[in-house]
């Protein structure tokens, strides 16, 4: 196996250094093969490997990796062994990051090894700033760079009004687009880097799959790559779920997308640090309070109370911060088992994220 053929799928040195000499030799001789998980439909697991232009390959998953959702997700890399015509998963490589949430009191992996998280919302009644704060907290907690994508700008006369609200959030990347206005999509081009993996998240009906489709050029779109989207409806604010499972696809520019089903209600999992980053304006204010243990309720010279009074700190923002912290503490208790696992993953992925940021900064400085 020529490992360099995996590079278009996002393979890099980080994964290579997880293979020891013996494994590497077996990879060379094709005794072992590497795949990136591209879809999981109940018990059927699909992956893209060195022959990825020819399509997905079905992978066998032994008992020790069941239930699958506890061990890996779309976007993960696995080492497999060839058994007759099949490929059996032997090992899951450590991910550089994993997007996760709480679902049915359990940790649920949503996607792995991401470069960007497109948090998609639409310029209609779906738009909800508190929900965006929740998604941001998840992105920051999982150390994935968020991009807020305001879709369906064709439906409003007040795009700036929406964008201004997004600008008030703790986020660097935002774009206003419409699938119906192809020119508007160029505001995303900065993120559409070949070999980069972008996961799409957001409520059902905001246009995640439509965007993935629009970011393919029509000429080269293969039928199998096209994501199903619902018909244009008069009122799709309450869109029903069209996408039902997560899927990794690669466009002709070489950008990898993970489309996901809409989330009705995103629950965070042990996301205290992500929440702090999302509400860093409040954290900064609180540091200026007279008492270090200020509860921001009645204390004199409380900067939070003063900012609320003067209107500098919007009430909804402060309330959402408290709500998310409370909810997070509750969720952490209800998913105790997941907690230990998470702590382990966090120390590891944080190191990777810091290195990436350093690398990015260096690149920026060298420009």
Which residues of the chain form contacts with Mg ion (CB under 5 A)? Answer: 208-209, 242-243
- Say whether residue 262 binds ligand GTP (CB under 6 A): yes
- Say whether residue 247 binds ligand GTP (CB under 6 A): no
User: Closest approach of Cβ 288 to Zn ion, in Å?
Assistant: 8
User: Closest approach of Cβ 99 to ligand GTP, in Å?
Assistant: 15
- Interface with Zn ion by CB under 5 A: which range of 172-180, 271-279, 289-297, 336-344? 289-297
Nearest residue to Mg ion by CB is 243
Confirm or deny that 294 is annotated as ligand binding: yes
Asked whether 129 and 137 are in contact (CB, 8 A), the reply is no
Q: Give the CA distances from residue 89 to residues 28, 43, 107, 322, in Å, rounded to whole numbers and listed in that order.
A: 17, 13, 22, 43
Confirm or deny that 154 is annotated as ligand binding: yes
- Interface with ligand GTP by CB under 6 A: which range of 38-46, 162-170, 208-216, 358-366? 208-216
- Say whether residue 75 binds ligand GTP (CB under 6 A): no
Confirm or deny that 203 is annotated as ligand binding: yes
Helical axes 129-141 vs 315-334, angle rounded to 10°: 50
Q: To which residue do tokens 């509750």 refer? A: 330
Smallest Cα–Cα separation from 44: which of 33, 60, 56? 60
Smallest Cα–Cα separation from 10: which of 54, 93, 75? 75
Instruction: Please identify which residue in 302, 308, 332, 335 interacts with Zn ion, judged by CB under 5 A.
Output: 302
- Give the integer Cα–Cα distance in Å for 96 and 94: 7
Which of ligand GTP, Mg ion, Zn ion, none interacts with 54 (beta carbon under 5 to 8 A by kind)? none
Count CA within 13 A, CB hemisphere, residue 281.
13
- Cis peptide bond N-terminal to 9, omega within 30: no
For 93, which DSSP code? Answer: P
Instruction: Please identify which residue in 26, 296, 317, 342 interacts with Zn ion, judged by CB under 5 A.
Output: 296
Q: Checking DSSP bridges between strand 197-201 and strand 256-259, what pairing results, if any?
A: parallel
Which of ligand GTP, Zn ion, Mg ion, none interacts with 154 (beta carbon under 5 to 8 A by kind)? ligand GTP
Instruction: Tell me the number of residues near ligand GTP by CB under 6 A.
Output: 26
User: Looking only at residues 119 through 178 of this chain, which bind ligand GTP when binding is defined by CB under 6 A?
Assistant: 151-152, 154-155, 178
Q: What are phi and psi of 193, to 5 degrees?
A: -95, 130
Q: Which residues bind ligand GTP (CB under 6 A)?
A: 151-152, 154-155, 178-180, 204-210, 229-233, 236, 239, 241-243, 261-262
**Could you list the residues that contact Zn ion (CB under 5 A)?**
289, 294, 296, 302, 304
Which positions make up the binding site for Zn(2+)?
289, 294, 296, 302
Q: Residues comprising the binding site for GTP? A: 151-154, 202-210
């Amino acid at each position: 196996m020529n490992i360099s053929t995996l590079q278009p799928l996002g393979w890099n040195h980080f994964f290579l250094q997880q293979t020891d000499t013996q494994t590497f030799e077996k990879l060379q001789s094709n005794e072992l093969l590497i795949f990136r998980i591209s879809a999981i439909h109940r018990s059927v697991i699909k992956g893209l490997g060195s022959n990825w232009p020819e399509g997905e390959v079905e992978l066998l998953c032994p008992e020790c990796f069941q239930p699958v959702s506890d061990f890996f997700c779309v976007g993960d890399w696995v080492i497999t062994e060839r058994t007759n015509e099949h490929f059996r998963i032997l090992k899951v490589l450590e991910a550089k990051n994993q997007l996760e949430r709480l679902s049915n009191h359990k940790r649920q992996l949503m996607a792995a090894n991401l470069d960007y998280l497109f948090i998609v919302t639409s310029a209609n009644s779906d738009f909800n700033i508190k929900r965006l704060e929740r998604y941001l907290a998840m992105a920051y907690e999982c150390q994935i760079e968020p991009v807020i994508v305001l879709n369906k700008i064709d439906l409003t006369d007040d795009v700036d009004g929406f964008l201004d609200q997004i600008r008030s959030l703790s986020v660097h990347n935002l774009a206003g687009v419409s699938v119906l206005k192809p020119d508007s999509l160029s505001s995303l081009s900065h993120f559409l880097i070949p070999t980069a993996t972008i996961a799409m998240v957001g409520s059902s009906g905001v246009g995640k799959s439509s965007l993935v489709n629009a970011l393919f050029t029509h000429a080269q779109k293969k039928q199998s790559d096209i994501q199903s989207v619902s018909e244009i409806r008069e009122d799709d604010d309450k869109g029903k779920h069209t996408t039902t499972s997560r899927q990794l696809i690669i466009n002709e520019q070489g950008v990898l997308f993970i489309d996901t089903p809409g989330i009705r209600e995103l629950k965070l999992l042990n996301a205290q640090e992500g929440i702090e980053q999302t509400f860093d304006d409040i954290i900064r204010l609180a540091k200026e309070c007279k008492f270090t243990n200020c509860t921001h309720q009645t204390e004199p010279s409380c900067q939070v109370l003063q900012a609320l009074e003067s209107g500098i700190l919007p009430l909804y923002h402060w309330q959402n911060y408290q709500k998310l912290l409370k909810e997070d503490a509750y969720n952490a208790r209800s998913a105790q088992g997941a907690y230990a696992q998470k702590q382990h993953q966090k120390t590891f992925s944080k190191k990777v994220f810091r290195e990436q940021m350093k690398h990015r900064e260096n690149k920026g400085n060298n420009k």
